[in-house]
Structure 1
Amino acid sequence: MSKLQWKKAAFGLVTASAALVLAACGNGGEDTASSSASSEPAEGGTLQVSVGPDYVDYVNEIAPAFEEETGIDVEVVEREMFETLDALSLDGPAGIAPDVTIAPYDRIGNLGIQGHLTPVTLPEDDRYDDTDKQQVTANDEVYGMPFVVESLVLYYNKDLIDAAPTTFAELEALSEDSAYDYETEEGKNTAFLANWVDFYSAYGLISGYGGYIFGSEGTDTADIGLNNEGAVEGIEYAKTWYEKWPEGMLDTTSAGSFVDETFIAGDAAAIIGGPWSAASYDEGGVNYGIAPMPELPNGESYQPFGGGKGWIISGYTENAEAAQQWVEYVTTEENQTALHEFNSEVPANQQARQAIVDAGENELAVAVIEQYNNAVPMPNIPEMAEVWTGAETMMFDAVSGNKSAQQSADDAVKVIQDNIAQKY
């Protein structure tokens, strides 16, 4: 399962069982999380911090200074992030959940609404902008401390083209180059590739043309904009590319792999991918560059989902004050800079982020930061699970010719509306 598929699957796991778990646990979780954690200094004690193996060394590196400053002992527990999150609804009431852990933004609002998280107080020091705050807010309550940001970006092969295309018009011109003709399918070209039969990847195109998921910044489920005039125009533009691309680009299960393999083989000059793609391109020996997405034909910016992760406090913790101190501490400019130096991830802290741009040494991080400025926070309410279901085949139906762009979008919206009406 790809990272993107895992994200989508994971988002729905808690949603599916929420009602049963809360019914079984009574109102314990909701009562625990009903008031914001205080930022007053805690008085000693032990704080259990659960992180995946990719963050253990980082937490162990910065924890001693926190312990010395606060008198709070940090107990680091190594456990995969999704295992921790999926177990929270049961481990919390049982008293065995960690005090703090990390969660993807698209899980935070959902967990908070279900009563599994303690609200967080964001520091008033300009470390976050409105987009950062939106990522961790649901029902007007803040349930997480932004930690890492990510976005889709443009990868290009420096051995094939001198610079990153800045407009889709340039990509269209590139696709006329016979050097990128697909050998086994006449009239097909792989100069530029994007896995747009996957809704996560296609959303930046739809949004850039004026489509949206829910109105009111992702909170109004009665207002679905995936079939408005702009969204349909974006889908129709995608179809013009599928007329040029090999048949493998229509395979919803393997198109992503086709894009990666073609780029690594040197048969694609530019592709759309995420920060997580870089490792495989490094391993494949590609001499690549990274840039923000080119300007769309309508003159607007490509607007993909803005993803990432935040720190969360368990709704069942007895150490809410200490937990609040930790999430503030781990997201300071100093510690977020240390995070970037540790694993090259892009910190959410605005000051640390700007320092990366000013230094200009990490091309991937700079591209992610610049693209993230045009990214759209994914709705973090439970109803988002129905969007994945409803939009699953929307792009395929349209670009394959099974349905018109308008009909495909209309059908997807109807599925989303019907599912929301039945379940919420």
Structure 2
Amino acid sequence: MVFKQQEKYHSIAGEKYDMMKQVKRKLGLVALTSILTFSLAACGGKSASNETKASEQPSGTAATDELKAEPGAELLLWDSKDPFVEYASKEFEKKYNVKVKFEKVESTDTVKRLSTDGPAGTGADVVVFPHDHLGTAVKSGVILPNDYFEEETKKTIVEPAVQASTYEGVLYGYPRNIETYALYVNKDLVKDAKLDTWEDIIAFSKKFNDVPNNKFGFLYEANNPYFNYAFMAGYGGYVFGKNGTDKNDIGINNEGAVKGMEFYRSLKEIIPVNPKDITADVKTGLWQEGKVAINLDGIWNAGNFAKLPFEVEVIPLPKMPGGAEPVAFSGVKSYYVSSYSKYPNAARLFAHFLTTKEMMLKNYELNGVLPAAKGLENEEAIKNDKIIAGFMQQVAKTQPMPSIPETQFFWQSVTPAIEQIWNGADVKATLDKAAGEMKTNIATGNK
């Protein structure tokens, strides 16, 4: 079989080199059981009139008071222009008598633009962006902590999303949705085949494969570390220690990571092609043509895959040899309140309103996104959606991508390493070399 050559593997939605810190949860601004530790210095750069100290409650409220919007408040939201945004804005206005205007701004451009538009007085009050931009936003001083609704957020939102929306122990985001990957299954091809473990998938694929005719039991972007990290982490590998925050503790070459990459290479038995040739476009084309039975891919394709002319369901990544479960990377989009907002209370209320259970279900209904709220897997609409229900199960077995800037060196070093491993290089020696390169680049600050 001949695949069309491409120079680079497909860039995964939400994956960036400039990533921020993912850290242990610490109780923040209204914590009941720990001492406040956040320093105002982390929010340097904003105008004095808009500063909100972490040790203070939202203006005009006490911890036990109901938060109220400022008189005459009007809000601007930067988000995608979609049916949910229009619906939610109107519902919020009905409930709080606060008008909301919205402007379409790409989430990846939000922080940079807010850094200039905020001080100029033309920035949004509420914005949305992926968690790998959080560190930059905090250091730039353009967002406020999620203080008033902090405890409620922690109780109602799944842990990976809370972690991803937290920076240096302080929760900033109001998590909206999670992006991760799992296994799309063509039920017309797989039928009732057992898929409980990777051994099952390998056994099925050996029977199904017809390589000369481009038919595969299982296929994925085998040259992409974003997906392969799940195998490393499942056996105990990691990028950085202390929940992704310690740049001096690199775990890509520990015993677990080596074992994960040994398993990765075993998949060559059922994917006997050059991994560079398995680009996202090539793989998706074969999948849509009904030539791939099991497709490891992300939730960002859920809408399109649900419309295919065959039955599709999603299942979590199954157990690897020895019973270890893969740990997939995840990315989180959250709403944030601008530190330059003239109406911070109204903005807090709106960010919270957008991420209530009711609104998340509406966003799922209108846009098909994977809600970040706990317990939604029991909702009838989601239970009956075999694609979203499968991703809801996978979310519990994910880990937010580390977000410190040094993560860029992981992508740079591990991408060629996994290609070499696939082609027969010694696993331990190859990962040791990649870890050494990361340490050197971190020490010298190479970009």
Counterparts of 1:130 and 1:248 in 2: how far apart (Å)? 37
CA contact (8 A) 1:306 1:378 kept: yes
Counterpart in the other structure of 2:128: 102
Q: Is residue 366 from structure 1 mapped to residue 392 from structure 2 by the alignment? A: no
Counterparts of 2:436 and 2:51 in 1: how far apart (Å)? 35
Amino acid at match of 2:434: A
Which of residues 365, 382, 386 in structure 1 aligns to 2:405?
382
Task: Flag the structure with higher helix content.
Answer: 1
CA contact (8 A) 1:108 1:312 kept: no
Which of residues 200, 206, 212 in structure 2 aligns to 1:183?
212
**Structure 2, unpaired ranges of 5+:** 1-7, 22-42, 62-66
Q: Is residue 90 from structure 1 mapped to residue 116 from structure 2 by the alignment? A: yes
Counterpart in the other structure of 1:404: 426
CA contact (8 A) 1:145 1:310 kept: yes
CA contact (8 A) 1:110 1:380 kept: no
Counterpart in the other structure of 1:8: 15
Counterpart in the other structure of 2:200: 170
Counterpart in the other structure of 2:45: 28
Amino acid at match of 2:69: A
Counterpart in the other structure of 1:263: 287
TM-score of the pair, normalised by structure 2: 0.82
Pair 1:400–1:3, CA change in 2 (3 A): closer
Amino acid at match of 2:159: D
Deviation at 1:212, TM superposition (A): 0.9
Percent identity for Structure 1 against Structure 2: 27
Counterparts of 2:134 and 2:94 in 1: how far apart (Å)? 30
SS in 1 for 2:351: helix
Counterparts of 1:2 and 1:47 in 2: how far apart (Å)? 40
For the aligned residues, what is the CA RMSD?
2.8
Amino acid at match of 2:223: V
Counterparts of 1:387 and 1:87 in 2: how far apart (Å)? 28
Which of residues 428, 437, 446 in structure 2 aligns to 1:415?
437
Higher mean displacement: 161-170 or 364-373: 161-170
SS in 2 for 1:223: strand
CA contact (8 A) 1:250 1:400 kept: no
SS in 2 for 1:176: helix
Which of residues 68, 71, 82 in structure 2 aligns to 1:41?
68
Deviation at 1:51, TM superposition (A): 0.8
Counterpart in the other structure of 1:313: 337
SS in 2 for 1:124: helix
Matches within 5 A, 1:74-223: 74-121=100-147, 122-125=149-152, 126-163=155-192, 165-177=195-207, 179-183=208-212, 190-223=216-249
Counterparts of 2:20 and 2:235 in 1: how far apart (Å)? 32
SS in 2 for 1:313: strand
Pair 1:301–1:356, CA change in 2 (3 A): farther
Counterpart in the other structure of 2:97: 71
Q: Is residue 349 from structure 1 mapped to residue 373 from structure 2 by the alignment? A: yes
SS in 2 for 1:35: coil
Counterparts of 1:74 and 1:184 in 2: how far apart (Å)? 55
Amino acid at match of 1:294: P
Pair 1:246–1:265, CA change in 2 (3 A): farther
Amino acid at match of 2:245: T
Deviation at 1:339, TM superposition (A): 1.2
SS in 1 for 2:185: strand
Deviation at 1:358, TM superposition (A): 8.2
Higher mean displacement: 372-381 or 310-319: 310-319
CA contact (8 A) 1:156 1:289 kept: yes
Pair 1:205–1:110, CA change in 2 (3 A): farther
CA contact (8 A) 1:30 1:116 kept: no
Q: Deviations over 1:250-290 (max 9, x none)?
A: 33xx5323322222232222121111223443455343222
CA contact (8 A) 2:115 2:140 kept: no
CA contact (8 A) 2:204 2:217 kept: yes
SS in 1 for 2:411: helix
Pair 1:78–1:197, CA change in 2 (3 A): same
Amino acid at match of 1:306: S
Counterparts of 1:111 and 1:392 in 2: how far apart (Å)? 28
Counterparts of 1:270 and 1:361 in 2: how far apart (Å)? 20
Q: Deviations over 1:223-252 (max 9, x none)?
A: 11111011011111111212442434333x
Counterparts of 2:302 and 2:407 in 1: how far apart (Å)? 28
Matches within 5 A, 1:328-347: 328-347=352-371
Counterparts of 1:209 and 1:414 in 2: how far apart (Å)? 21
CA contact (8 A) 1:109 1:137 kept: no
- Residue-pair matches, total: 403
Q: Deviations over 1:155-178 (max 9, x none)?
A: 11212212461100101112321x
TM-score of the pair, normalised by structure 1: 0.86
SS in 1 for 2:190: coil
Structure 1 runs of 4+ aligned residues shifted over 6 Å read none
Q: Is residue 292 from structure 1 mapped to residue 304 from structure 2 by the alignment? A: no
SS in 2 for 1:170: helix
SS in 2 for 1:149: strand
SS in 2 for 1:103: strand
Amino acid at match of 1:155: Y
**Structure 1, unpaired ranges of 5+:** 16-25
